[in-house]
Structure 1
Amino acid sequence: MPLVRIDLAADTTPEVVKAIGDVIYDAMTQTANVPEDDKFQIVNRHAGDELVYPAAGYLGVTYTSKIVFIQVTWSTGRTIEVKKAFYKAVADGIHGKTGIRKEDVWISLVEVNREDWSFGGGEMQYAPK
């Protein structure tokens, strides 16, 4: 039940955007046990001055104007090993399919409880039993 927000440069082509979205979805289903067809993504393109990152880098990682910010909101409970595998699969996949540097793939995970979702109809589909 993840919700993925992808923020990237305004000049990113539709083909690259699609590839990024597909890589993230594939990584979620293959490494993090996300169900098939559970693909909810919001893509925002930004002018250069709207993607802010430290010019000198951070924690030994440097960035370029091709940076892609990815925020995944998903249910809590995944192990550190699963999260590491997810990060690697996303960075490797995006680099392999688009040429974007792995260093420019920035990922944040937000964990929420299963009852924090409504998939429509004003219902809590994963209500506690």
Structure 2
Amino acid sequence: MPFTRITVRDGWSDADLQTLSDTLHEVLVAEFNVPPDDRFQVIESLAAQRFIYDRHYLSGGRSDRYVLLNILAGKPRSTEQKRVTYQMLSERLQQRLNLDPNDLMIIIQQTQPEDWSFSGGKMFAL
């Protein structure tokens, strides 16, 4: 039950944003143990002055095509699942969007099931 906030700088085409979204979901299903129907994403496209990042911090250099994926996960994943997810996302986005791996930053945050209410004011429980 992840929720992902995808943040990019203005200028991405709708088709490229759809590819980004679809690729993310495909990898989460394949590597992060997410059910196929569990897809919750928000895509933010921000003006340059509203998307501030260091172009070189712990990176080979970020461009204007920098992508930030903030994945809020509702259950723990192993270190290996996270490692493979990072790698697969980087590889597939490079293949499909020609996204330089230095332009991809991924943050995974974990919550507990009781931190979610999917609808009806009811607390989710496993």
For the criterion TM > 0.5, the same-fold answer is: yes
Partner Cα separation in structure 2 for residue 43 and residue 9 of structure 1: 11
Partner Cα separation in structure 2 for residue 116 and residue 77 of structure 1: 13
1:125 positional shift:
2.7
Counterpart of 1:15 in structure 2 is 15
Counterpart of 2:84 in structure 1 is 85
SS in 2 for 1:88: helix
The amino acid that maps onto 1:111 is Q
The amino acid that maps onto 2:6 is I
Counterpart of 1:107 in structure 2 is 106
Q: Percent identity?
A: 25
Give the TM-score taking structure 1 as reference length. 0.92
SS in 1 for 2:7: strand
SS in 1 for 2:17: helix
Counterpart of 1:36 in structure 2 is 36
Paired positions, count:
126
Runs of 4+ in structure 1 displaced over 3 angstroms?
none
Partner Cα separation in structure 1 for residue 41 and residue 120 of structure 2: 19
Unaligned runs of 5+ in 2: none
Give the TM-score taking structure 2 as reference length. 0.94
Unaligned runs of 5+ in 1: none
- Do 2:118 and 2:124's aligned partners in 1 also have CA atoms closer than 8 Å? yes
